[in-house]
Amino acid sequence: MAELKTRLIVGMEIHVQVRTASKLFCACPVVYDAPPNSAVCPVCLGHPGTLPVMNRRAVEQAALVGLALNCTIAHFTKWDRKSYFYPDLPKNYQISQYDLPIARDGWFEFPDPNGAGSGASRDGASPSGLSRVRIRRAHLEEDAGKNLHDRGDGSLIDLNRAGTPLIEIVTEPDLHTPGACYAFAVELQRLMRHLGVSDGVMQRGQMRFEPNVNVAIECDGCEIRTPIAEIKNLNSFKAIRNAVEYEYGRQVAQWRGDPEYVIGRRPNENRGWNDARGLTEYQRPKEAAHDYRYFPDPDLAPATFDDAKLAAIRARLPELPAARVRRLAERFGLSAADAETIVDDRATADLFDESIRAGAPADVLARQVVNVWASLANEHGTTVAGLGVGAAAMAELAEMVRSGTVSATAAARIAAAMIPDADPAPTTVTPHVAAAEDRSPQALAAKLGLLQEKDADATQAWVDEAFRLNEQAVRDARSNPKKAKQAAGFLRGQVMKLSEGRADPALVGELIEKKLAEPT
């Protein structure tokens, strides 16, 4: 067989749960993990004679997403009924949007691991050095309830999720590598969190990605395309990458075995990702849009967006994550990875900016946020902003390291004690007193005895002690050229340890060098 040239083609469909207090068409609360059927009413149970009334917040959030995706927002948008015969939506239709979605014709940029433009088509690299994917549309629809299979002889239905708001985003088929699919998904999650539209927790189904995958195969001078497979049940970024990668190989292999495996001659299909086995499994042929028999929902009034309404929503658009990462990297010289860590959570990024305004030196602050605050947040099961430490206090701590008032190591201990519910000094006798104590970094540094010791005599004493305790290292540093550098470094570390992080590293280095040069 002639050599094959293949090209992966992926368009993404994404369902995003909109964080609202109530459902899309009724006032039932939006809940997670609540007892089954505890957040339902006649409307979301699909009882006859009920009428849906649209949630304003959900409509506005959908428009906000559309604007963030650089879409055109419809001046006039309406909802349609889509035939749906599963018991998790008992009306027998889903309220969705067909021909007049809230948003259409936009684009979205993401940092492509393979280099800008390599994993995304057409526009290739955008002026910003990111890859660009065109957005076909974004619309607002209702979610279904949950089916529990494998429970005895029937299926069990919980309708708490039925009727909760979802934004469905559809991209053009502009993704061309599994890595680009992964990076796109990560950046889209970051966007949704930044907009405050969704928490985007994939394990909870708050963001559901469905790649539509096929392959262009060039063979003997002509190009064929395989049928499109839509992959379901992806609940992690890794699953997205692995499923797309698997499907790429599977479709090429299937075409090799069956020359009729070509779009139009074999049906498009839905496939499910089996994470345990690492493969996609056939589910059913995909229905064409006309099979859903959409028609306008006569119970819901259309919604309109005039210029004033749109301007008000546009005013709520924050600086978007990709732009924010770029700004932090360019203005403060941060690495892209550090900038992304900070920007991952919008409140944390806001805290970072506020802290800079409060006078924090950017480089020290960035190191502390990424290394110290982020790991403390991890320990406390929250975000950096969720730790409850204010911008001014963070700025003060960063400044103390810059000015040499405390060492970076000492600053990490102070940071841990700055957290409101942390015990500032676990060795103190009376916790009642501790609770009421001053948590400013300056006060904690003094209390914990971490203020940098600039006094030469005290530092000399630690150096002498380190030399006395580490004779081998001293010998190596003095007379073993192979180990001299390493041994001197070891001694510096020992001095810092003896001083419990209080010694001034520059002074320590100076005194060690002097002492090593002394005749023995």
Q: List the one residue from 28, 325, 372, 406 that touches another protein (CB under 8 A).
A: 28
Shortest spacing between CB 106 and another protein, in angstroms: 22
Residues pairing with 215 in the sheet: 8
| 280 near another protein, judged by CB under 8 A | no
For 109, phi then psi, to 5°, come to -115, 145
| Pairing mode, strands 165-171 and 5-17 | antiparallel
Pick between residue 99 and residue 223 the one whose CB is nearest to another protein. 99
The nearest distance, CB 102 to another protein, in angstroms, is 13
**Piece in contact with another protein (CB under 8 A), picked from 57-65, 355-363, 477-485, 499-507:** 57-65
Residue 138 identity (one-letter amino acid): A
Interface map 146-165 toward another protein (x if CB under 8 A): -xxx-xxxxxxxxx------
Of 4, 5, 72, 86, which one interacts with another protein (CB under 8 A)?
86
Name which of 36 and 361 has its Cβ closer to another protein.
36
Total of chain residues touching another protein, rule CB under 8 A:
67
Nearest-angstrom CA–CA distance, 112 and 184: 8
Decide: is 267 part of the binding site for another protein (CB under 8 A). Answer: no
- Write down the least CB distance from residue 87 to another protein, Å: 5
Between strands 222-225 and 207-219, the pairing is antiparallel
Binds another protein by CB under 8 A, chosen from 109, 112, 141, 187: 141
Using the rule CB under 8 A, give the single segment among 42-50, 241-249, 418-426, 486-494 that binds another protein: 42-50
Residue 89 contacts another protein per CB under 8 A: yes
Q: CB 301 → another protein: shortest distance, Å?
A: 4
Considering beta carbons, is residue 153 or 421 the nearer one to another protein? 153
Choice from 50, 54, 70, 454 touching another protein (CB under 8 A) = 54
Amino acid at 418: M
Six-digit token string for 278: 């690492």
How far apart (Å, rounded) are the C-alpha atoms in residues 343 and 339? 6
Give the residue among 72, 96, 140 at the shortest CA–CA distance from 289. Answer: 96
Does residue 307 bind another protein (CB under 8 A)? no
Q: Is 32 in the site for another protein (CB under 8 A)?
A: no
Distance CA 145, CA 87 (A): 8
DSSP string across 270-284? EEEEETTTTEEEEEE
Q: Please report whether residue 234 would count as binding another protein according to CB under 8 A.
A: no
Q: Which residues share a beta bridge with 207?
A: 16
- Residue 513: which H helix or E strand, with range? helix 505-517
Please identify, among the stretches 31-39, 101-109, 128-136, 251-259, the one whose residues bind another protein according to the rule CB under 8 A.
Answer: 31-39
Q: Is the C-alpha dihedral spanning 70, 71, 74, 75 positive or negative? A: positive
**Pairwise CA distance, residues 487 & 460, whole Å:** 18
Q: What is the DSSP string of 315-358?
A: TTPPPPHHHHHHHHHHHH---HHHHHHHHTSHHHHHHHHHHHHT
CA distance 464 to 439: 34
Question: Looking at residue 197, what DSSP letter applies?
Answer: S
Binding of another protein by 36 (CB under 8 A):
yes
Judged by CB under 8 A, the stretch of 18-26, 175-183, 380-388, 438-446 that binds another protein is 18-26
Residue ranges in contact with another protein by CB under 8 A? 20-22, 26-30, 35-42, 44-45, 53-59, 76, 78, 83-89, 94, 99-100, 141-144, 147-149, 151-159, 166, 232, 270, 283-284, 291, 293, 296, 298, 300-304
